[in-house]
Amino acid sequence: MSEEDIPLPPEGGVGFFSDAPSAEAEPSKSGTPYRVLARKYRPRTFDDLIGQEGLVRILRRAFAVGRVAHAFMLTGVRGVGKTTTARIIARALNCTGVDGTGGPTADPCGVCPNCTAILADRHPDVLEMDAASRTGVDDVREIIEASRFRPMQARMKVFVIDEVHMLSRNAFNALLKTLEEPPAQVTFIFATTELRKVPVTVLSRCQRFDLQRVPQTMLAEHFARIARKEGTELEDGALALIARAADGSVRDGLSLLDQAIAQGASDTASVADMLGLADRGMVFDLLEAALHGQVASVLEIAGRAYARGADLGEVLTDLMDVLHLLSRIKALPELRDGLELPEMERVRGGAIVDHVGVTVLGRAWQLLLKGLAEVEMAPDRRQAAEMVLIRLCHASMLPTPDKLIRQLQEAPSGENTLPTGGSPALGGPPSQAQMSVSGRAERTASVSSQTVSAPSAAPATGGGPSALLQGGGPVRQGSTALKVQQEPVQEAPPAPSPLRLATENGAPVPQQADGQSEAIPPMPRSWRELVALVRQQKAARLHGTLRHLGHLVEFAPPRLVLRIAGEDEEQKRQTFRGLTALLDELYPGYWQVILSDEPGEPTLDEQGAEVVALHKDKAKQHPLVQAIMRHFPQAQIGEVRDHNLDDYGLPPETVVPLGEDVPSYFEFAPPDADYPDEDDFY
């Protein structure tokens, strides 16, 4: 072939590789193949990129001052514009302008031969390689060999490697030297979604740009503009659903928008059905019902969502999304007044967080998070999701951890008992331990291993329990009966203060048929402790009568003088018989209950009301409360809570410690008994 046979380039300055405008660059015409929105509206300049203002500003400045790096690393989630940005950089490096004399610029003309060829993906000097399919050393060697030659048509030879993290370790090592000192006319642009898998040696040789997720509001506005260009109007709620489903990816959102336009889904409900999502309002209804523990309503709402085609696993994900939103509103109250959130989410979300604490939201989040894993493993996703929702309903009715801890601290603690099996251990210096009976402290004694035993005695005819333990608190008995021996107690191993034991006119501990005794509660040391003991024995009616109608006249164990208010004589007799029977069952032959007509003290309920009134009066005197009342004259002071009060609304009472004036059941001796000296035990 002679030189005359070589075809000349077309007139107008276009080259061999840019003989026709790109189909990508032309607007859509009737009769041409349909292009999806993600390709049709692909950005061609830096101005077209949305949500990447930092990247655009830096690159514009670099081109303006002529400090363009020889290698770029673009990272970010899928669909935010990594490959698109790489192509824009390639055009900016090779643009020659409309007249063919331009240099590198941040605003490529789009009409010069290099721009049109790069847009058409057929420029010989701009090579794109998919590292997901070409991962070996040989593929990298081809790039290295190609980088040694000068560009055929463009100013710069550009190598775009997509998903670069998929390259093998040897391929990265082969690329290092060329990447560090590339030829003057070569630029490398890498794109990856997994930056952590790229070796640090490669990252250190590149200028890194992190492409951010595009905000939902910006995505919704962008999709609205494109929909109008396509001759379609979508509701704001529908655009918000698409933007939320896109999760910051422009390409994913455009694909969903393309699907919505094709299906004619322009309203929110239609888009929700298309996406397989539950309506946002339905999700709020579901969460509100779950937080109120309404299992039937929750299952009914979930059934309606399932009938509409929603995956209940996705419904749980939507619930987690709402919980996250509510937690953000709780932490950032200014979100209520901003325009970042739709009006429904601001209004309904604000109404929920006004009545729900962070602890409840966090617990619901944990339940749903674990429930999602169960849904993925279950053979039937619907059944698993409904079980998670039922669990959420029941959990919402449980106290929060902080409230549970407070209840445990205020509730009566369990009785401490000696180890069962064998005789109770006695002897040694008694140490004082704290326990509560009906929420109050009671001193107890822990004793060392000294055994006291004696043959069983017949029930005493009078007096009461005769075991007197001086110098320590009450001894709790286990399943073995405490028995008294007549000879002197054996001396324990070195003990600074010995225990004293009195047996005069003593009565034995009540025995069961098998020779073992029941655990007997400690002897009440005050009227309030006696009423609490009645409650502990689950005598609810008797406890209520004593609390609300019982006026204490005298409390001097074993004598109890009491007035029962009211005009019903039968009720008074029933109360007398019930209290006497209960005390005789616990402490046989000890207590003497006498009914009286004397006024006596106010009832425990009246005393508690008086304490509450005092607290309220004290609160009224507080300067801050007075200032509030001046600004809000119609305001009223509600309940004043004091966690130091017991179940009767009374402060802890000061009672005589056990082992002194008021003995416990095992410490009691008749008033006329002679207390032995310490020498009597040796």
Q: Quick: pLDDT tens for 323-348.
A: 998 998 888 888 887 767 777 788 88
Instruction: Provide the pLDDT confidence category of residue 30 given band limits of 50, 70 and 90.
Output: low
219-231 burial code (b ≥16 CB/10 A, e <16): bbebbbebbeeee
The full set of domain ranges for the chain reads 4-210, 216-275, 280-403, 422-524+666-682, 527-601
> Which residue type, as a one-letter code, is found at position 653?
E
Mean pLDDT, range 173-196, rounded to an integer: 91
Instruction: Select the more confidently predicted residue: 81 or 437.
Output: 81
- Residue 352 above 50 pLDDT? yes
Q: Residue 25: pLDDT band by 50, 70, 90 thresholds?
A: very low
Specify the residue for token string 């609160």.
619
* DSSP assignments along 300-355, one per residue: HHHHHHHHTT--HHHHHHHHHHHHHHHHHHHH-GGGGTSSSS-HHHHHHHHHHHTT
The fold for domain 4-210 equals: Rossmann fold (3.40.50)
Please report, for residues 255, 437, 517, the alpha-carbon distance to residue 41 in angstroms, rounded to integers and kept in the order given.
11, 76, 89
Torsion 501-507-509-512 (CA) sign: positive
What average pLDDT score do residues 555-582 get? 85
- pLDDT for residue 149 is more than 80: yes
The reported pLDDT for the residue numbered 655 is 59
Selection from 496, 498, 468, 495 nearest residue 484 by Cα: 468
% residues pLDDT > 70 (the chain) = 73
Helices (H), 18-162: 37-40, 53-65, 82-94, 113-119, 137-147
What integer pLDDT is reported at residue 643 of this predicted model?
Answer: 67
Residue 548: is its pLDDT beyond 80? yes
Asked if residue 682 has pLDDT above 50, the reply is no
Closest-CA residue to 349 (of 324, 371, 366, 372): 324
Class of domain 280-403: mainly alpha
pLDDT (tens digit, 9 = 90+) per residue, 287-302?
A: 999 999 999 999 999 9
Amino acid at 497: S
| pLDDT digits 0-9 by tens, 205-250 | 999 999 998 988 899 999 999 999 988 888 888 888 888 888 889 9
What pLDDT is recorded for position 518? 53
Tokens matching residue 615: 């607290």
* Residue 304: pLDDT over 80: yes
CATH number assigned to the domain with residue range 216-275, chosen from the 4 options 1.10.8.60, 1.10.4160.10, 3.60.21.10, 3.40.50.1820: 1.10.8.60
Q: 527-601 has which fold?
A: GMP Synthetase; Chain A, domain 3 (3.30.300)
pLDDT, tens only, 53-92: 999 999 999 999 999 999 999 999 889 999 999 999 999 9
pLDDT band at 319 (very low <50, low <70, confident <90, very high): very high
Cis peptide before 676 (omega within 30 of 0): no
pLDDT of 654 reads: 66
Name which of 437, 533, 520 is nearest 477 in CA terms.
520
Percent over 90 (pLDDT), the chain = 24
Lowest mean pLDDT among 203-212, 307-316, 625-634: 625-634
- Integer Cα distance of 371 and 78 in angstroms: 28
DSSP-based three-state secondary structure for 368: helix
- Residue range 190-214: average pLDDT? 92
Asked whether the domain spanning 527-601 has the same topology as the one spanning 216-275, the reply is no
Above 60 in pLDDT, residue 29?
no
pLDDT averaged over every residue in the chain: 75
Structure tokens, 203: 């990252």
**Res. 459: pLDDT tops 60:** no
